Structure 1
Amino acid sequence: MALAGCSWLLLSAAFLSTGAEISITPEPDQPAEGDNVTLAVRGLSGELLAYSWYAGPTLSLAYLVSSYIVSTGDETPGPAHTGREAVRPDGSLDIQGALPGHSGTYILQTLNRQLQTEVGYGHLRVYEILAQPEVIANSTELVERRDTLRLLCSSPSPAEVRWFFNGEALPIALRLGLSPDGRVLTRHGIRREEAGAYQCEVSNPVSVSRSEPINLNVYFGPERVAILQDSTTLTGCTIKVDFNASLTLWCVSRSCPEPEYVWAFNGRALKNGQDHLNISSMTAAQEGTYTCIAKNPKTLLSGSASVVVKLTAAVVAMSIVPVPTKPTEGQDVTLTVQGYPKDLLVYAWYRGPASEPNRLLSQLPSGNWIAGPAHTGREVGFANCSLLVQKVNLTDAGRYTLKTVTLQGKTETLELELQVAPLE
């Protein structure tokens, strides 16, 4: 029986039956674009005359890819033929260099010698080699807690989407929102810790592609504005400076970007736009209130801190005077200290050089004194740093050393040679 062209298709409608035995399987099962694909057919039965392949949901002439006559091997392309398809003698369909457009439902219709037809259904998905996606941001410069971040992973192809932050997989916490398709990332009230590099990655079974990073800046502050002395020492409300001494005040804050600085002295702006202010030679004219104002040009917020700078009071040179000047054996002698520092923290007396084995006694900040290794039981300390030595003897003569430490950490050391007269 000879079949010409597609005339047998017109007869098939009267004898159409659904053959559940026919199976169509793509090989490979997850082809990438450009792969050669075979829609392998299994379960054919009987002596067949012809095959017809359709690329579409129905047996419509518009979807006809190709018809094949088994006895002659003649193949006739249909309207849906792309130039890449070829029917095998076993009924399978080869697609050379398959494209994503070849994806969809395929139907094989067979015709046997009794002019009966059977059909089998299969599905082909050809995956694209994904192009590099691009992250598009509503803005890369945002203000903390004020602005909303929206990032779009732009890719022309359907794919799974993953997000990365500073090279690591992005944790999906409650404060980060993803759209149902994963392509839009939203953060309301952005925070500083979310500044950094964002990337998105698209993937399908045959391809993975990650975007270039997009860097996000989150501006905040200024916060915790403070004035430091000499860049490291925290100041209190008042700084005392010696006459003619130098002083550097530093303005620090937590801010992004670095703020702009304005200094004021007693409410009057100074011509200084730096983060520090130098006072080269302290005089009474420099006494007053110094204020630093930090302004963030991005957040439009500002903060300030102030400190009072004063001259230290005139200090009388410290000295030690023994009373009596030259005691006699058996007498008490007081080593009287004149001009001791008013901001005294601690002091210590030594019998000889200022070393621990020679320490007679020390006074604590509480005002109490404690005995040292060289204490003989006859020495008593006073709040004004003076030392009483009771019932001196000739061995008490010699060097005595006083060491003082002020609240500002200033240390001063004085020495005295005590003379003791023998009994006649």
Structure 2
Amino acid sequence: MRGFIIAVLLGLAVDVTSGQGSIQLIPQYPVINGAVILRVTGITEEIVNFIWFKGPNRNSQYAILTYISGSSNPTITGPQYNPRITAFSNGSLRIKDLQIRDGGNYTVMIQTVMAAHNIFVYLTVYEPVTKPKITGSTTQPKENDTVTLTCDTSKATTIRWIRRSAGISSEAKLSGDNKTLTIIVKRGDSGEYRCEAENLVSKESSDPYRVSVAYGPDKARIQGELLVGLGSPITLTCSADSEPDPEYQWGFNGKVLEQKIYKYSISNATTENQGLYTCVVKNTVTLRNATVSVYVNVSADIISQDNGSSPKIIGIIVAIVLLLILIAATIYLFIMHKRRKSPSHTNSNVKGSSKNESLETRQKDIPLYENVQVPRIKEESSYMDLQFRSEDTYTELRR
């Protein structure tokens, strides 16, 4: 009965068709396991019925469902129907739990009170990209080796390569689909590489892939005091540009020493420690070596300095400086104190001087009677003091 109804409806709509209306996909890029609405737009007339088809044409075998407005049971299912599909009275169709097989050609034939409308749309169900994974020919190539990195992913429409904190070498080459990156590596190409995969509905990034370019050793060198005093320590440090970290072997006057680290030291130097020291640097990946030598002189003319003497000397210098500052401050305070006392003392001296001057002035005004010499009264008669000029005078007196 339902097949008969569909056939009748198709027959009624054959002669009356129109290009009006359209179908909008919501969302625009449907994703697997998600949902999509095939929304009919542009139909302004009252809808009497509509039929949805999935397939190359509108044959009944491709019918999904028929919807009859006003019916108590409006939906009539067709051969392409499944329970994940729902029809709406405005002619739209909803499909949930999308599967890849849901993709394809969809047609809706809508019968209104005025005309019939056939509207077509193609549905693509998208899959998210898979998480990319980088595989490489080696993780520790030697300098100037060729390294190939491959980004393994699927469902991606775009693949890009990224190196952390730096760009990809300008000499790198990409395959046509960008999945393969080829580099003739230099030491500057070391770092963490990632690939990103993207399509219209998703984006994923790989875990970092570390590339460490092995090189060296280059520019081997020894640092340390080459002229030391008796009893002083000898400390020599060997280094070189190398990746990975190299191994070290020390030698003295042509004899191999036990030390196999970058630093060689002697706590108390004697004349026997004077001589030629050699450091051999070895890279176990590049299989290259570098050698450097220095001559260390041990002399009794150089005063031995304890390693801890520098802090002591600094402490003594600081103490002396503080003492000088204290002395200078004391002298300054003493001078300022004297200056504050000087005005009052001067005034007292001036006042005292004025008093003395006044006293002297007064003394000058008083007659100096104390300087008068009073003649003593002698007991002898005054005439005894008389002196006569000659004997004649005496004679005259007697007469």
Query: What TM-score, normalized by structure 1, do the two folds share?
Result: 0.57
Correspondence 1:105-184 to 2 at 5 A: 105-110=105-110, 119-128=118-127, 132-152=131-151, 154-166=152-164, 171=167, 174-184=170-180
SS, match of residue 188 in structure 2: helix
What one-letter code is carried by the residue in structure 2 that aligns with 1:295?
K
Q: 1:259 to 1:85 in 2, by over 3 A?
A: same
Relative to structure 1, the CA distance from residue 172 to residue 190 in structure 2 (aligned partners, 3 Å threshold; closer, same or farther) is: closer
Residue 292 of structure 1 aligns with which residue?
279
Alignment of 1:317-356 (within 5 A): none
2:42 and 2:65 mapped to 1: Cα distance? Answer: 20
**1:15-54 → structure 2 map (5 Å cutoff):** 15=14, 19-43=18-42, 51-54=50-53
Question: Where does residue 76 of structure 1 map in the other structure?
Answer: 77
Aligned positions, number: 301
Give the Cα separation in 2 of the matches to 1:145 and 1:225.
21
User: 1:148, CA displacement in angstroms?
Assistant: 0.8
Q: Does 1:218 align with 2:197?
A: no
Q: CA deviation at 1:220?
A: 2.3
Are 1:188 and 2:183 an aligned pair? yes
Q: C-alpha deviations, 1:15-43, integer Å up to 9, x for none? A: 58985324211123344445442212234
Mean Cα deviation higher: 217-226 or 272-281:
272-281
Letter in 1 for 2:147: T
Counterpart of 2:95?
95
| 1:199-278 equivalent positions in 2, closer than 5 A | 199-229=194-224, 239-243=226-230, 245-278=232-265
SS in 2 for 1:212: coil
Structure 1: how far apart are the matches of 2:9 and 2:283? 79
Separation in structure 1 between the aligned mates of residue 37 and residue 253 of structure 2, nearest angstrom: 88
Distance 1:305 1:59, change over 3 A: farther
CA deviation map 1:209-257 (0-9, x unaligned): 4333333333322121111115xxxxxxxx4444554322211112222
Segments of 5+ residues of structure 2 without an aligned counterpart are 304-399
Contact 1:17–1:119 (Cα < 8 Å) also in 2? no
Report percent identity of matched pairs. 28
Q: In 2, distance between residues paired with 1:316 and 1:37?
A: 90
Task: Give CA-to-partner distance per residue, 1:367-417, whole Å, 9 cap, x none.
Answer: xxxxxxxxxxxxxxxxxxxxxxxxxxxxxxxxxxxxxxxxxxxxxxxxxxx
Q: Deviations over 1:335-368 (max 9, x none)?
A: xxxxxxxxxxxxxxxxxxxxxxxxxxxxxxxxxx
Residues 16 and 29 (structure 1 numbering): CA distance in 2 closer, same or farther, change over 3 Å?
farther
CA–CA distance in 2 between the matches of 1:108 and 1:182? 41
Alignment partner, residue 4 of structure 1: 4
Q: Whole-Å Cα distance in 2 between the matches of residues 316 and 6 of structure 1?
A: 115
RMSD of Structure 2 on Structure 1 (CA): 4.1
Match of 1:85 in 2: 85
TM-fit CA distance, 1:127? 4.2
